[in-house]
Amino acid sequence: MFWGIEISKVPVKFTPAFDLHITTACLSAVAKDTGRNVLQVKYDGKTYSLCSLKLNATEHSVLDTNFEEGKEVEFSVSGNNTICLTGYFVDSMYGDDEQGEEEEEEEDDEEEEGEEDEEMEGEEDEEEEDEDEEEDDDEDDEINQELERQILEQALKRKAQIEADKNKQQKKPKQEEPVKQVTPVKPTASAAKPTATTPTATTPTKQTTPATKPVTPTKPVTPTKPVETVVEKKKPTSSVVTLPSGLQYEDLVVGTGPSPKSGKKVGVKYIGKLTNGKTFDSSLRTPFTFRIGIREVIRGWDIGVASMKVGGKRRLTIPADLAYGRSGAPPSIPPNATLIFDVELVSCAQ
């Protein structure tokens, strides 16, 4: 369900009936003052700044902030202009109002049908809740399975390449070790001092053993090619790139299309997780669009997506100072949280 409100210097307090998701803040159409206008929120006894807007400069900001139902929220503006907030109630999107009406009708039926019908309908309600929970779990499982499938495909490709290199190395003919050097004939005392009793039977064999010396060119047997294959195996371990800002990224698939340009719109599919593996946001079916490089999203996205190409898939590990910082984005994202995004660049305007 859509939600909107206008905020000025006078604080506005209210308690949301459902979980509230705020998506956009912009200056009012009648804004005239060119000074800075800071949107502030007081939540759980603490005051936070959500964004800063300025006429003829930054007149709107994309937000991704959730507020829990039943908790008082107070908005105010530090500045002379009015700021319009828009978003939607999360729970109302899933049909809680319709479920409430159905439950009221069921309660009326239960009173008429007696205690036995009440017990049966209570069991039906529990089954419906279990089915809803199973559907939510199935959707999360599908998202996680799709991500795991993509990562597994990349791992299998790397493994197949390594095995192919091993097979090539094994097919190359190996030069024999200089075994003949183990039987040096010259240093033996018996060979140096031949006895007079055996001049004819033993001397031919002694002469044949030196004849084998030219057949033992062992110097070319230097293991140079196996060293090259060892270097190739170590290449995949250096795929994670760490930038001076602290952001890390790993290219799962390198794209072949164009790269984004600052200020232009891009479309991405993504899934966001905390370091404990919990998914806090995703958009895998419908691409999320934003203008890159002008702080419509967190800094980690502006930096990490800028060097991608269309068709590429990248894993971004974003430190807190490039994401939501010390404040976090309650209740989904705690303070000082490192965020992990798997991002696919599907389009970019040129």
Active-site option among 67, 89, 249, 324: 324
Task: Give the Cα separation of 207 and 193 in Å (integer).
Answer: 14
Cis bond upstream, residue 258 (ω within 30)? no
Task: Give the Cα separation of 74 and 16 in Å (integer).
Answer: 11
Q: Taking a C-beta distance cutoff of 8 angstroms, is the pair 37, 81 a contact?
A: yes
The encoded tokens of residue 152 equal 């597994």
Q: Look at the alpha carbons of 302, 305, 306, 311 in this order and tell me if their dihedral is positive or negative.
A: negative
The DSSP string of 83-104 is EEEEEEETGGGGTHHHHHHHHH
Q: Is 298 a catalytic residue?
A: yes
Q: Is 288 a catalytic residue?
A: no
Other CB atoms within 10 Å distance of the CB of residue 254: 11
Q: Is 341 a catalytic residue?
A: yes
Active-site option among 43, 280, 288, 290: 280
Active-site option among 75, 89, 270, 302: 270
Q: Is 280 a catalytic residue?
A: yes
Collapsing DSSP to helix, strand or coil, 5 comes out as strand
Task: Report CA Rg, the chain.
Answer: 36
Helix extents (H) in 248-342:
299-306
Active-site option among 91, 117, 281, 321: 281
Q: Is 96 a catalytic residue?
A: no
Active-site option among 83, 298, 303, 318: 298
Active-site option among 64, 303, 341, 342: 341
Helix extents (H) in the chain:
96-113, 115-171, 189-192, 203-211, 225-234, 299-306
- CA angle, 291 then 294 then 300, to 5°: 90
Q: Is 94 a catalytic residue?
A: no
Q: Which residues are catalytic?
A: 270, 280-281, 298, 324, 341
